Structure 1
Amino acid sequence: MARSIEQERKQLEAEEQRLSERRKQLAERERSDRLKEVEKSGLMKADSAQFTGILEAIRKLGATETLKRLTA
């Protein structure tokens, strides 16, 4: 056996840390892409009360139900 158990454990922990960082970066990119889509959608042109109302409806109904109602 070329490596000890402790070396193997340290290597696995390092790999897990790298993978965790990649997941974090991916989540940040996804969030950034979603914000860009919101900006392109025209929602940012709504006045404050309309925008708040739309977001409140999404929170109340949930994303799936909101999408279903909007596409019906």
Structure 2
Amino acid sequence: MAKTLEQERAAFEADAQRLEERRRKLEEREREQAISAVEKTGLLKLEIKRLTAIVERVKSLGIDEVEKRLRA
């Protein structure tokens, strides 16, 4: 336990910085995993024009609607 309020505040800030760094690393790993999943589907092998069209369509419909239509 910190002896003074200043030491405790500094320890708290250091903990917060470590937590933020862990959060950033987790987000980066999640992003890498998502990109890997997209690569495995073959979407990244499409010509850019087709891929852009698909992504734009997903944006316009929304993820929920696209999932619904793909399940049908």
Asked if Structure 1 and Structure 2 have the same fold, meaning a TM-score greater than 0.5 normalized by the shorter chain, the answer is yes
Aligned to 1:4: 4
Distance 2:3 2:53 in 1: 60
Are residues 4 and 57 of structure 1, via their aligned partners in 2, closer, same or farther at CA, if it must alter by over 3 Å?
same
**Are 2:69 and 1:69 equivalent residues in the alignment?**
yes
Q: Secondary structure at the match of 2:3?
A: coil
For structure 1, which segment, 4-13 or 44-53, has the greater mean C-alpha deviation from structure 2 after superposition? 44-53
Q: What is the identity, as a one-letter code, of the residue corresponding to 1:52? A: T
Q: 1:5-37 deviations in whole A, cap 9, x for unaligned?
A: 111110000000000000000000000000000
Q: Is the 8 A contact 2:38 2:44 kept in 1?
A: yes
Aligned to 2:47: 47
Displacement of 1:47: 2.3
**Structure 1 portions without partners, runs of 5+:** none
Percent same amino acid at aligned positions? Answer: 49
Distance 1:25 1:45 in 2: 28
Q: Tell me the TM-score normalized by structure 2.
A: 0.89
